[in-house]
């Protein structure tokens, strides 16, 4: 979101923070922009000055003062812009609210309820039908998730007795070579939130399988998973080297009644501040695809 804001305000140059990173052997986005902070290199340059070039001070507060300087420069650029920028800023804010790159909290109960109704609080939502929310947590200590590409494929099969079995394949890929700083080994603890009452059948690709919130195993110990925010949760841990692909495959049975008699309804919730990318769902020969830039609802007629 901060990087996109510079598309509106224009690039920024800060006195004392003018190192050109073109020849530092860093990822391509870091090497662009010369001495300026731009929408392309903002995050990388910030990381460089906070972690690599503390300007003679090792104190955390001193090193992170650059965030205040960037904020002041952005506000100054906005203040010095023509009135034409304000409608663009309003559109920018509502776009990022919808895409969950910006969330809102109010201490007053009524205001917070209104924010939740608009979907701007980032909460796990209630839904009648199928539900999927993929939550990734980078435990690697680096910023590899800046470059991680992630897609999700889902398929459903009706078993005898009316039970629906669902397969969820989450595919990960980091196209950026190892640099020991931003792009490194990705260590991910991923949780999937699914309809309450789902039963895990198998989980392939995980180094650790989490079916309890506080313990893991190499096998499924509790097919029912654990309950959180009105959902059932299954977890997995894996690692991924740069420029490699990795797939996690969850197979689980949905609770009875999740799939309707006439149509299939699915709510896909986006993890705040991330973008999984393409998400597919297949029932028989019918395939629906969406870009998960924001929460999405899919409806597929069953044609019975």
Q: From CA 288, how far away is CA 275, in angstroms rounded?
A: 18
Kindly state whether residues 13 and 139 are assigned to the same domain.
no
The reply to whether 27 falls in a domain is yes
Write the DSSP assignment of 48-79 as a string of letters: IIIII--TT---HHHHTHHHHHHHHHHHHHHH
Do 210 and 289 belong to one domain?
A: yes
3-state secondary structure of 84: coil
Last residue of a domain, one of 44, 77, 98: 98
Among 95-104, 134-143, 249-258, the range of highest mean pLDDT: 249-258
Sheet holding 199-204, edge to edge: 199-204, 245-253, 164-173, 149-158, 278-283, 286-291
Structure tokens at 212: 């309890």
Q: What is the pLDDT of residues 218-271, one digit of tens each?
A: 999 999 999 999 999 999 999 999 999 999 999 999 999 999 889 999 999 999
The neighbouring-strand residues paired with 235 are 191, 210
What are the phi and psi torsion angles at 292 (to 5°)? -85, 60
Is 165 a domain residue? yes
pLDDT of residue 53: 65
CA distance 250 to 192: 9
Q: What is the pLDDT of residue 62?
A: 61
- Provide the residue range defining the domain that includes 188: 130-301
With contact defined as beta carbons under 8 Å apart, do 176 and 183 qualify? Answer: yes
The mean pLDDT of 144-148, rounded to a whole number, is: 87
Q: Is 205 in contact with 238 (CB distance < 8 Å)? A: yes
Is the domain of 57 the same as that of 142? no
Both 280 and 135 in one domain: the answer is yes
Among 65-69, 215-219, 239-243, the minimum mean pLDDT is found in 65-69
User: Based on the structure, what is the number of domains in the chain?
Assistant: 2
CA 27: distance to chain centroid?
21
Task: For the beta carbon of residue 35, count every other beta carbon within 10 angstroms.
Answer: 14
Task: Report pLDDT for 61.
Answer: 64
Give the mean pLDDT of the chain: 90
**SS3 for 86?**
helix
Count CB-CB contacts under 10 A for residue 218. 9
**Structural domain includes residue 104:** no
**In terms of domains, do 73 and 140 share one?**
no
> In this structure, what DSSP letter does residue 190 have?
E
Radius of gyration of the chain, Cα coordinates, nearest whole angstrom? 22
Residue 18 lies in a domain: yes
- The per-residue pLDDT for 60 is 58
Which tokens in the block code for residue 136? 């990734």
> How high is the pLDDT of residue 123?
87
CA distances from 142 to 2, 274, 276 (A): 20, 16, 19
Q: What pLDDT is stored for residue 58 in this prediction?
A: 52
Residue 135 lies in a domain: yes
| Distance (Å, whole) CA 240 – CA 245 | 7
pLDDT band, very low/low/confident/very high, at 293 (cuts 50, 70, 90): very high
Confidence of residue 48 (pLDDT cuts 50, 70, 90): confident
Domain containing 275 — which CATH number?
2.60.40
Residue 54: pLDDT above 70? no
Residue-wise pLDDT tens digits, 167-203: 999 999 999 888 878 888 999 999 999 999 999 999 9
């Amino acid at each position: 979101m901060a990087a996109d804001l510079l598309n509106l305000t224009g690039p920024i140059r800060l006195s004392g923070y003018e190192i050109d990173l073109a020849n530092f052997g860093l990822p391509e986005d870091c090497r662009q922009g010369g001495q300026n902070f731009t929408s392309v290199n903002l995050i990388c340059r910030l990381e460089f000055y906070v972690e690599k070039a503390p300007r003679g001070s090792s104190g955390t507060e001193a090193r992170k003062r650059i965030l205040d300087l960037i904020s002041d420069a952005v506000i100054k650029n906005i203040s010095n812009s023509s009135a034409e920028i304000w409608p663009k800023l309003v559109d920018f804010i509502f776009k990022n609210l919808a895409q969950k790159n910006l969330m809102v909290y109010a201490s007053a109960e009524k205001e917070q309820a209104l924010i939740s109704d608009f979907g701007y609080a980032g909460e796990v939502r209630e839904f009648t039908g199928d539900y999927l929310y993929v939550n990734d947590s980078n435990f690697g200590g680096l910023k590899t998730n800046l470059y991680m590409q992630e897609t999700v494929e889902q398929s459903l099969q009706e078993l005898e007795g009316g039970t629906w079995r669902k397969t969820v394949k989450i595919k990960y890929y980091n196209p950026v070579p190892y640099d020991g700083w931003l792009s490194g080994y990705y260590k991910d603890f991923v949780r999937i939130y699914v309809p309450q009452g789902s039963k895990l059948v198998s989980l392939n690709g995980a180094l650790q399988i989490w079916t309890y919130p506080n313990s893991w195993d190499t096998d499924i110990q509790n097919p029912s998973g654990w309950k959180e925010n009105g959902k059932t949760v299954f977890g997995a841990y894996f690692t991924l080297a740069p420029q490699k692909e990795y797939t996690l495959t969850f197979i689980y049975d949905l609770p009875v009644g999740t799939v309707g008699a006439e149509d299939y309804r699915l709510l896909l919730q986006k993890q705040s501040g991330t973008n999984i990318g393409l998400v597919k769902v297949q029932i028989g020969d019918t395939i629906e695809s969406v870009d998960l830039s924001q929460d999405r609802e899919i409806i597929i007629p069953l044609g019975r």
